[in-house]
Structure 1
Amino acid sequence: MKHTARTAAMVGIAALVLAGCGSRPSDNASDSPSASPTESTSSSAPAESHPDFKACEVSDSGGFDDKSFNQTSLKGLTDAKADLGVQTAQVESNSDSEYADNIDALVKQGCNSITTVGFLLGDATEAAAKANPKVDFSIVDYGYAKPAKNLKGLTFNTAEPSFLAGYLAASQSESGIVGTFGGLNIPTVSIFMEGFRQGIEKYNADNGADVKLLGWNGKDGSFLNTFDDKSKGQSVAEGMIQQGADIIFPVAGPAGLGGLQAAKDKGIHAIWVDTDGCVSAAEYCDVLLTSVMKGMDVAVEQAIKDAVDGNFSNEVFVGTLANGGVGLAPYHDADSLIDDSTKSAIDDLKQQIIDGSLKVG
């Protein structure tokens, strides 16, 4: 991946920029976004009507049908259309080189608010916000030390629910080995992996166990250098399974679906990210223990509503367990496999994180 000076600067505020990833059919700017599997539709009239306001969105190179990161962010836009009665448009990015041009295309369409999706759009979004002070910009998974007045970061402390997922994975592993891999080695990916690692360590400390993690050691690990290549994700997951891993935690957008396929083929379990995998990738629900969720749809819609109401600010949003911005999905098909004592322990750890007595990250 390409690291810019801005990316380097972001390391200093990575605590605020907490995962993201993101296949891409391709449909340039459109006033009617494609429906997402996580999207609820209704024929009723919107509660509000703002037909002169246009809310727009740009994906990262993963595209809006990734069953994860971009898809959930797009739901925030479609929910805003349904709830606020605004016009909408969106553009899918096919490569990193398109970000600036895609944002500019929406500015030229007269968009009043533009949401960009992903850490890799940080530079292009900031440049566009500075060049277009009358447009309100928000960006998923990026924060700025000194944002422009019309630029809002929407960030998520995914280390917190990933910690709970790590504890769960360690408790359910029969081999004593679990694996994780990421799309790119960027803060919004590695924060999942680090929280997961710390959760495994907590389980080991509390239970006198020695569950081992493949793919992340706290500083470096296994990365695909893509969010798009499902076959590469499947290959990496299969390699971890060959080493004994019986639970896989992919943090790689559509490429991570390859990890779920490997788990399904080999009869082991996995944990999904960004959205409830039993909803967005239901064909893999039978192998999922849970999913680490980010409320990107809610944050995106709220940013649009604030722009509609004239209440938009550049104050960064940080989703946490305490404010419901992140969380674990239900256990779904795996519920009967997880004993009550483990469920209780996870509930207790969640409360300790919320009240501040347990620090994660």
Structure 2
Amino acid sequence: MKVTTKKAGFAGLALLGSVVLLAGCASAPEDSGSGDGGEAIDFQPCMVSDSGGFDDKSFNQLGFEGATKAADELGVELKSVQSEAETDYAPNLTNLVDQGCDLIVTVGFALSAATVESALANPDVEYVIIDDAADNDFDGTVDAENIKPILFDTAQAAFLAGYAAAAYSQTGVVGTFGGMNFPTVSIFMDGFKQGVDYHNTEAGTDVKVLGWDGTDGLFTGGFEANDTARNTAQGLIDQNVDVLLPVGGPIYQSAAAAIRDSGKDIAMIGVDADFTETDPSVADLMLTSILKGIDVGTYDAVLAAGNGEFDPTAFIGTLENEGVGIAPFHDFESKVPADLQGQLDELKAAIISGDVEVKSYLSK
């Protein structure tokens, strides 16, 4: 299957309301969604989260919102089940298949192997996987013909965020860390470092990036907001960073706690969603956020499947098709250089035209 792109947008990235958690690997998945969008059709969409959960203020939650919106418009109810640990993935998928799901949306690289196994065993069920290529043998093709990957070349947007971080930094040191060293995590860190390096070259600065050297870096080993994530953030804070990019769902909450405890003037960069809008409790810390149109991509895929138009061709979000981008500076508007937004607009155009190259595993 060839990889193509199509138009996507960021409408709906902000939270529309509280998300109801639907937990339980052991029990059958619960129904969610109002199902009041119109006449019911013979179609059952389903969704399983990774261990970050549907309230991660990030990609699980955005995917859930997109799938729920599509289900409502189709006049059906979304069945969803939340994974608490990696051992839940395969049983949750089996559970959903047994519940008669026609389409199953899975979230994240961690669910890739279980998704492929389930898809191969159930060729009549359609699958959508968010943030993974479903190419576990790395041969450049999706491992099952009934899986549609939704991917985002976030290195392009992270490049802009890295450039902004370097322009903003007063200490000359910025940092990043991730949950696990998956391609969909390290792609943020790759783009971020490239953006900082580009600013150093163009503006004559010497801003250092801690936590990622282009190949390896700091990872907590999971995506939970816990002491490990907090201590990892603290280690970077102790090295004088004044911009911090935590990549991996809820781990940003631990980073925010470490920043507040430090009493230092440290800005944070969000991932996937605009954290100023999705989590106002950290709005005062947010320099910007690196955005992915996860809700839009998921909505489109579920709606198409419900209308009998499932297309397994991979979607890749880019700056050009507006599948990725960065959020406004919000509270930091007056704190960044006055000409920074203009520079970013020019840089975005240069990336789209190819005049500035941003490398990632999706651009090879």
Report TM bin, short chain: 0.7 to 0.9
| Matches of 1:124 and 1:92, distance apart in 2 | 15
Picking from 53, 58, 62, the partner of 1:68 is: 58
Q: What are the residue-to-residue correspondences of 1:51-62 with 2, within 5 Å?
A: 51-62=41-52
SS in 2 for 1:74: helix
The residue type paired with residue 177 of structure 1 is V
- 1:287 is matched with 285
SS in structure 1 opposite 2:94? Answer: helix
In the alignment, is residue 219 of structure 1 matched against residue 209 of structure 2?
no
1:67-115 Cα deviation digits (max 9, x unpaired): 1121111111111123222221101111111111101111111111100
* Whole-Å separation in 1 of the counterparts to 2:307 and 2:232: 47
Provide Cα deviations, 1:247-293, integer angstroms capped at 9, x if missing partner: 11000211221112222333311101011101222100011011001
For the Cα contact (< 8 Å) 2:132–2:150, is it kept in 1? yes
| Aligned ranges 1:269-284 → 2 under 5 Å | 269-284=267-282
Q: Which of 330-339 and 119-128 deviates more?
A: 330-339
Distance in 2 (CA, whole Å) between partners of 1:116 and 1:26 is 14
Indicate if the aligned counterparts of 1:54 and 1:87 stay in contact, CA closer than 8 A. Answer: yes
State which of 293, 299, 302 in structure 1 corresponds to 2:300. Answer: 302
The answer for unaligned runs of 5 or more in structure 2 is 4-19, 136-140, 360-364
Q: Which amino acid aligns with 1:295?
A: G
Is the Cα–Cα contact under 8 Å of residues 163 and 200 in structure 1 kept in the other structure?
yes
Return the alpha-carbon distance in structure 2 between the equivalents of residues 44 and 55 of structure 1: 12
Between the aligned partners of 2:32 and 2:117, the Cα distance in structure 1 is 27
CA distance in 2, matches of 1:351, 1:84: 37
The match for 1:32 is 32
Are residues 1:97 and 2:93 paired?
no
- Choose between structure 1 and 2 for higher RCO, CA contacts under 8 A separated by at least 6 residues: 2
- Equivalent residue runs for 1:11-26 within 5 Å: none
Contact 1:164 1:196 in 2 (8 A): yes
Q: Within 2, Cα distance between the matches of 1:83 and 1:193? A: 37
- Alpha carbons of structure 1 residues 186 and 44: separation in structure 2 relative to 1, 3 Å: closer
**1:51 touches 1:87 (CA, 8 Å); kept in 2?**
no
Task: Give the drift of 1:231.
Answer: 2.6
Structure 1 runs (4+) deviating above 3 angstroms are 48-51
Query: What SS does the corresponding residue of 1:103 show, helix, strand or coil?
Result: helix
Paired residue type of 1:131: A
Query: For residue 215 of structure 2, what is the amino acid of its counterpart?
Result: K
2:96 counterpart of 1:106: yes
> What are the Cα deviations for residues 155-212 of structure 1, in whole angstroms up to 9, with x where unaligned?
1101000000000000000000011000001111111001000000000001111000
**Mapped partners of 1:102, 1:44: distance in 2:** 23
Quick one: distance in 2 between partners of 1:316 and 1:130?
17
Which amino acid is 1:259 matched to?
A: A
1:182 has 2:175 as partner? no
Aligned to 1:354: 352
Partner of 1:171: 167
1:44 is displaced (CA, Å) by: 11
Matched residues in 1 for 2:334 and 2:291: separation? 21
Aligned residues: 329
TM-score, structure 1 as length reference:
0.87
Correspondence for 1:314: 312
Alignment counterpart, residue 235 of structure 1, candidates 206, 214, 231: 231
Q: Is the 8 A contact 1:203 1:209 kept in 2?
A: yes
Higher helix proportion (structure 1 or 2): 1
Instruction: Indicate conservation of the 8 Å contact 1:228/1:254, yes or no.
Output: yes
Distance 1:50 1:149, change over 3 A: farther
The equivalent of 1:38 in structure 2 is: none
Q: Which residue does the alignment assign to 2:200?
A: 204
Distance 1:55 1:248 in 2: 37
RMSD (Å), alpha carbons: 1.8
The C-alpha deviation readout for 1:96-136, integer Å capped at 9, x for no partner, is 11111101111111111100001011111111112212211
Separation of aligned partners in 2, 1:304 and 1:274: 20
Q: Distance in 1 between matches of 2:51 and 2:36?
A: 33
The residue identity in structure 2 corresponding to 1:31 is D
Residue of structure 1 equivalent to 2:17:
none
The residue type equivalent to 2:192 in the other structure is F
| Counterpart for residue 146 of structure 2 | 150
Indicate yes or no: 2:333 matched with 1:335.
yes
For 1:245 and 1:324, the matched residues in 2 are separated by 30
Alignment partners' CA distance in 2, 1:149 and 1:224: 34
Aligned to 1:18: none
Contact 2:168 2:337 in 1 (8 A): no
Q: CA deviation at 1:148?
A: 2.5
